[in-house]
Amino acid sequence: MSVHAVCVALALALPAASQTVGGPLTGYVFDLGTRSIRAVQGLPGGARLAAPVLSGLDWASVSPHGDRALVSIEGRLSLIRDLKAPSLEPLPGEAQGFERAAWAPGGEAAVLSRAASGQLRLLRVQPEPAVEALDLSSFGTVASVSVTGQLDLLVSVANENGGTLVWTAPGRDPIAIASLGSPALLSGITRHGSVFAIDAACRLFEIQNAGSGARLLPLTTACEGGTPTSIAATPDGSSVALVWGSTLRFFEPATGALSEPSALALAPASLDSVSTGGVWWLSGPRPPGAPAWLLDARGPSPSVLFVPEAPAETPAAPEVQ
């Protein structure tokens, strides 16, 4: 794996309400360190982290194409339809109180979940936000969710037997697909209809034909001695990125090859998709002034790219009210 240092450039200094982003745009990310949504401006390998577009956030989730986001401010969940001109659209009461989101590939819908609960909320964002309740409490508590473009849901749940992989969809009864020794983390869906999963024992699986007829295919054991914290797959499914603690590793399903583990200066880390397919934001706590990281897995040799913080003198965006 190659690691590239990236030049520092001045971030945008306009107030949040009128800020625009010019030049090439990799995408928008939720920066846990500053609890803000920020644009990654420039292409991977020569990018900078622009000033916050929105700040003062409890948490946020940016859609796969980077055009919209879900944001929580003082416990209130809202939708932003256009991050280039952000405005808050409060969600209905039945969507409130949730703290995680899994997006459909096109960003037309998201599934909301929360810790220690079997409840899900399917949020359709067009034309007006519509929320549908999905209850998996009879199977256990939700650990991870993956959503297809047809709104099939694959859900990993924790229960007294360890874990279960469940399929469900709007208006359909949930079905148990497979039993697992422990709850699994799920990647997003690939263009070929597969989802990758890794359980607490570091066993990696491919879930083929994501839907009610999904099939679980064991692949390998990937992260001995650690507990997985994140998994992500490239859109074509050619590479799977795995994170446990501050360690990163890649798996190539076609060859069965595992890269050597690489240490990250960030722990614990998670992977969040950026608008360009195969580019992820490495999200996690980092000291003030420490560089942010992008992971670019679009080519044959995945690279971790440093994206330094904006200079301290750059004005910060006002907190969203």
DSSP 110-138: EEEE-TT--EEEEEE-SSS-EEEEEE-TT
Instruction: State pLDDT tens for residues 43-77.
Output: 877 888 888 999 999 999 999 888 899 999 999 99
| Cβ atoms 205, 196 nearer than 8 A | yes
Other beta carbons less than 10 A from residue 14's beta carbon: 14
Distance CA 298, CA 53 (A): 27
Using pLDDT thresholds of 50, 70 and 90, give the confidence band for residue 126: confident
Tell me the C-alpha distance between 283 and 281, whole Å. Answer: 6
DSSP 243: E
Residue 311, classed as helix, strand or coil, is: coil
State pTM to two decimals: 0.86
Side chain identity, residue 129 = P
Domains of the chain (ranges; CATH) run: 138-263 (2.120.10.30)
Q: Report in angstroms the alpha-carbon separations of 225 from 68, 161, 201, 245.
A: 37, 22, 9, 10
φ and ψ of 94, to 5 deg = -70, -10
pLDDT category, 123, cuts 50, 70, 90? Answer: very high
